A and B are shown apart, each in its own frame.
Chain A
């Protein structure tokens, strides 16, 4: 089993702040996903990483394979970024999920 830990569990930020969410896992993986879950429940995949760094708009995701650690950064945060962000690792044919980080961005 792959243990996936996320931090922080809850995060409140002022609009415009730079936000970092961290994810660590216990066993080497083939890919790591960052997911966004909105209050209605639907989940969207933001990034899939196997190495290095990816950027999409104000979102940046990095992964350090040696340290088994990934970070999701949000620059110039906005209230519409408020959601639960989930780290998921693919290990073999299965996914293992972190417990999520609940982000609230205040105007």
Chain B
């Protein structure tokens, strides 16, 4: 079964609205989760590292006020795309390291965001 669950899998929203994407670690506690963005036919691009109980670490060029990350518990991280624009339309996916299992990496199912 899934180790990491991501929701929603697909979402369409209007420009200017905000969208929240959830990433849940089902089988283990995750102090760190990673958020990626993927454009069509391109590789995964790390957006930010979500740290439980503290502020997320954002990659260069990623607007922290636009992509709000909250990691309030050891099993849940959320990414909120605020004031969405059509250029935010993309595939967003989270991942978790299971450091108890030799740093095995697990990915969520991903979320397709379309901003109209």
Instruction: Give A contacts to B, CB under 8 Å.
Output: 30-31, 33, 35, 40-45, 48, 86, 88, 90, 93-95, 97-100, 102
| In-complex Cβ contact of B107 among A30, A31, A45 (8 A) | A45
Q: Mostly helix, strand, loop or mixed at chain B's interface?
A: strand
Is the CB of B106 closer than 8 A to any CB of chain A?
yes
Q: Mostly helix, strand, loop or mixed at chain A's interface?
A: strand
- In the complex, identify which listed stretch (B20-28, B41-49, B68-76) lies at the interface while the others stay far away: B41-49
Interface residues on B, range: 20 to 34
Number of A-B residue pairs with CB-CB distance less than 8 Å in the complex they form: 46
Closest to B34 in A: A95
Q: How far is the CB of A34 from chain B (nearest CB, A)?
A: 11
Q: Would you give the 0/1 interface string for B76-116, flagging 1 where the beta carbon is closer than 8 Å to chain A?
A: 00000000000000010101000000111111011010000
Instruction: Give B contacts to A, CB under 8 Å.
Output: 34, 38, 41-44, 46, 49, 91, 93, 95, 102-107, 109-110, 112
Beta-carbon contact of A95 and B46 below 8 Å: yes
Can you list 23 contacts pairing A with B, beta carbon distance less than 8 Å? A31-B103, A35-B107, A41-B91, A42-B107, A42-B109, A42-B110, A43-B95, A43-B107, A44-B107, A45-B104, A45-B106, A48-B102, A48-B103, A48-B104, A86-B43, A86-B44, A90-B103, A93-B49, A94-B46, A95-B46, A99-B42, A100-B43, A102-B41
